[in-house]
């Protein structure tokens, strides 16, 4: 693969130029994905087409950003590619499947907190109702 394989012009993939832009993405509301890649990394080169396809597929629901490791000066990278999913102002490392479907699911999947709270409320109501029916107050 050569430099032509790492181009973003033919896709909705957004290339960032410095760490300040990347930090703004990491604190945004999202959904977004920030990818720090290295030109020399074989995994990054192999995944670049997948990232382009993902950005074209999710252009209306989420943004995909890439930044080269030489332009990213933060010290929070352990390996390449480093992928972070940003949702509701929180950035988390992505360690899932490395295909379009896996990335899409991670980007568009909503958190389950709201459902958990609703479920807890129903359990409390049911327990309270059952307790009232079966326990007599002297």
At residue 129, does pLDDT exceed 90? no
Q: Looking at the whole model, is its pTM more than 0.85?
A: no
Confidence (pLDDT) at 115: 44
| pLDDT tens sequence across 73-115 | 888 888 899 999 998 888 899 988 999 999 999 888 854 344 4
State how far the alpha carbon of 129 is from the alpha carbons of 69, 73, 125, 132, 133, in Å: 59, 58, 6, 5, 6
Confidence (pLDDT) at 82: 92
Which domains does the chain show, CATH number per domain? 3-111 (3.40.30.10)
| pLDDT tens sequence across 9-47 | 777 898 999 888 888 888 888 789 999 999 999 999 999
**Are 57 and 63 within 8 A, CB to CB?**
no
């Amino acid at each position: 693969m050569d430099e032509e394989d790492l181009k973003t012009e033919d896709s909705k993939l957004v290339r960032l130029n410095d760490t300040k832009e990347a930090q703004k993405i990491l604190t945004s509301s999202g959904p977004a994905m920030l990818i720090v890649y290295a030109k020399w990394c074989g995994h990054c080169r192999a995944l670049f087409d997948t990232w382009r396809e993902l950005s074209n597929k999710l252009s209306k629901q989420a943004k995909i950003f890439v930044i080269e490791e030489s332009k990213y000066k933060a010290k929070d990278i352990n390996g390449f590619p480093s992928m972070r999913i940003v949702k509701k102002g929180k950035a988390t490392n992505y360690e899932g499947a490395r295909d379009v479907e896996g990335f899409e699911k991670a980007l568009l999947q909503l958190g389950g907190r709201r459902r958990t709270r609703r479920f807890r409320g129903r359990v409390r109501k049911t327990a309270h109702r059952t307790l009232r029916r079966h326990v007599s107050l002297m």
